[in-house]
Copies of this chain bind each other. A is one copy, B any other.
Amino acid sequence: MELIYVLDILGTFAFAISGALVASDQKFDLFGVIIIAFVTAVGGGMLRDILIDAHPINWIGDMNYLYVILIAVISTFLFKSKILPLYKTLFLFDTVGISVFTLLGLQKGLTFNLHPVVAIIMGMISAVFGGVIRDVLTNKIPLIFEKEIYASACLLGGISYLLLNHFGVPKDFNFIISASVIVIVRLISVKFKLQLPKIKDDIFGKT
């Protein structure tokens, strides 16, 4: 569906902007900024494709990803002071990107005849690991390991897609519903600061 491709590109753009902003705060030079924007935007899908042996991998098979990332980096270079106040818009794009990345990754997993659980994992890797690689390359502990950001949302959206798919809901319609699940769960969890539990205490008391 055309719309999904447009949303995919929009999400890639938002991820690339967020990567470029992180890299520029680290005083990286232009080359460093491009690399960080690049891995943030396509790192998750790239890892997914390597794991399931899907060649050519995402950004090699479709040059539009590279062009969008380059436009995002140039925009950040020229208009950083104007972009920062737009963080709400960016957050929305970002959330849309996450939902689209998750479901496209899941669908790709199913196309490759993976076990449904593995397909959900592929969806989550697509959405999450761009940020993980960005954090590793900038020498930080990946944010997503410490703090709920969107892993649960991706998981619930993935389960929703598999369930509806099982009951014969048409793919495109299913995509829109399950993407909405991801967007809504994320907005709710950010609004109410919901967090996943940590292993501090166990059922026997403090460790």
Contacts and interface: CB of A to CB of B under 8 A. Distances in A.
Contact of A81 (B30, B139, B142, B204): B204
Q: How many chain copies does the complex carry? A: 3
A26 B82 CA distance: 37
A82 B35 CA distance: 36
Interface string A8-50: 0000000000001001101111111101100000000010001
Nearest to A52: B60
Interface residues of A, number: 63
A151 interface: yes
Given A60-B51, A60-B114, A66-B117, A202 B80 contact: yes
A199 B76 contact: yes
Closest 5 CB pairs of A and B: A32-B145, A24-B199, A29-B196, A53-B55, A31-B151
Interface of A: 20, 23-24, 26-33, 35-36, 46, 50-53, 55-57, 60, 63, 66, 76-82, 84, 114-115, 117-118, 132, 136-142, 144-148, 151-152, 195-200, 202-207
